[in-house]
Structure 1
Amino acid sequence: MIQVEALTKRYGTTTAVDGLTFSARPGTVTGFLGPNGAGKSTTLRMIVGLERPTSGSTTVDGVRYVDLSAPLHAVGVMLDARSVHPGRTAYRHLLAQARTHGIPRSRVDEVVAMTGLEAVAGRRAGTFSLGMGQRLGIAGALLGDPRTLILDEPVNGLDPDGVLWVRRLVRDLAAEGRTVLLSSHLMHELALCADRVVIIGQGRLLADAPVQEIVDASGGTTLEDAYLRLTAGAVEYRGRNADGPTGLPAAGGAR
């Protein structure tokens, strides 16, 4: 279980995350949504110890990430699929990760097969397409067979078959009792694979509820409708001619 409690992060006079509280529970796919600049990436980075909170706390199964004795076994993380040495092959990249945690070579073979990378495992990561890079990032997240998965935009760059594969993967992982926190801008995809959704804007919580409850509370018919209404006042980078629905009376029941 991922628990975020009154989490705040300031950079000088700028508040990136502002008193944020939510949880991602075992057996559940939790979607994490917000406009660009809402604080999503900063929140994820604080959960996995890459940023230090100004105040508040984040824990995984009651333990701070930095205090985990074997983090790769506890939490699988993909925040940036491009953070791989471009001159290293996919297989060597995964093998190096495995050796830092005493994970056997056989597990590397398993995740290569799980993610469909067999044909390209011997290629250098720098030659990968965006979609192949995403698969390699997911393979790294699965390497330690963790109980918790944190995936940032995992379907970015994937073809339709790849998108379907990720959808099935996260549903299967949740069905095994694992915790899955999934950030994405693809509303249709989240509506298909997420059990509940956390929506933030300007670093603050706007909604935290099952998908259908958020849709019903918004008066719309889709998750995208609900998202646009909830975030109408929290978009920093709106184009001059961009129009969107406004006027949702309070996030009412979406808590």
Structure 2
Amino acid sequence: MLDVRAVTKNFGRHTAVQDLSFTVRPGAVTGFLGPNGAGKSTTMRIAVGLTRPDSGRILINGLPYDRLAAPLHEAGVLLDARAVHPRRSAYQHLAVLATTHGIPLRRVDEVLGLVGLSGVAGRRPGGFSLGMSQRLGIAAALLGDPGVVILDEPVNGLDPEGIRWVRTLLRSLAAEGRTVFLSSHLMSEMEMTADRLIVIGRGRLVADVTMAELTAGHQSLEDAYFDLTRDYTLEGESHR
């Protein structure tokens, strides 16, 4: 479970997140939506200890990320698919993570096969397309077989087949009782993937609802989202 408790984060005079609280529960895919600058990335970075909040806290299975005894076993994270060592192969990148976390190397082969990268395991990710980098990032997130999965824009750069694969993967992870939390700008894909939605605007919670509740009375998630967040966009920004 992922529990966000009264989190506030300021960068100078700019408030990125303000008194934000919500809970992401296991057994469902929870989407994280909001206009550009709403605070989604800051919230995810706070969740995994990369940014320190000014107040409040985010707990993963009851503990802050930096107090988890075995982080990769409890929380799998993808925030930046390009954040890999430029001189290591895809296999070596995962093998280093596995070795430092006491994960058997056979698991590296398993996740490479799961994400469809077995054939390029010996290549350096620096030459990967964005879609291939995303697959490697997902492999790293799943390496420890975690109960909580946090993914920022996981389908970015993927072709339609890859997008369908991610959709199926995330729904299967939730069906196994895991906590799945993802952000995406692809409304049509989020509509087909997510069970619940957390919507924020200007750092504050706007909605914490099921997909059915948000889309009731609207033709699509995009229309419902536009109506809900029209007052939270940055000046000069368009939803469309």
TM (normalized to structure 1)?
0.92
**Separation of aligned partners in 2, 1:143 and 1:237:** 41
Unaligned ranges ≥5, structure 1: 245-255
- The residue that corresponds to 1:39 in the other structure is 39
- The residue that corresponds to 1:251 in the other structure is none
Distance 1:243 1:50, change over 3 A: closer
- The residue that corresponds to 2:135 in the other structure is 135
- The residue that corresponds to 1:188 in the other structure is 188
- The residue that corresponds to 1:223 in the other structure is 221
Q: CA deviation at 1:238?
A: 3.2
User: Is contact 1:36-1:237 (8 Å) kept?
Assistant: no
User: Is contact 1:33-1:40 (8 Å) kept?
Assistant: yes
**Separation of aligned partners in 2, 1:25 and 1:243:** 28
Distance 1:243 1:210, change over 3 A: closer
Distance 1:54 1:127, change over 3 A: same
Distance 1:243 1:188, change over 3 A: closer
**Separation of aligned partners in 2, 1:65 and 1:97:** 17
Cα distance per residue 1:105-134 (max 9 Å; x no partner): 100010000000011111111000000000
Deviation >3 Å, runs of 4+: none
Q: CA deviation at 1:169?
A: 0.2
Aligned amino acid, residue 207 of structure 1: A
Cα distance per residue 1:206-247 (max 9 Å; x no partner): 11100110112xx422111111111111111535xx587xxx
- The residue that corresponds to 2:22 in the other structure is 22
User: Is contact 2:87-2:124 (8 Å) kept?
Assistant: yes
- The residue that corresponds to 2:58 in the other structure is 58
Q: CA deviation at 1:87?
A: 2.1
- The residue that corresponds to 2:178 in the other structure is 178
Aligned length: 240
- The residue that corresponds to 1:150 in the other structure is 150
SS of residue matched to 2:137: helix
TM (normalized to structure 2)?
0.97
Unaligned ranges ≥5, structure 2: none
Q: CA deviation at 1:86?
A: 2.1
Q: CA RMSD in A?
A: 1.1
**Separation of aligned partners in 2, 1:127 and 1:238:** 36
Instruction: Indicate yes or no: 2:202 matched with 1:202.
Output: yes
SS of residue matched to 1:6: strand
SS of residue matched to 1:157: coil
User: Is contact 1:16-1:39 (8 Å) kept?
Assistant: yes
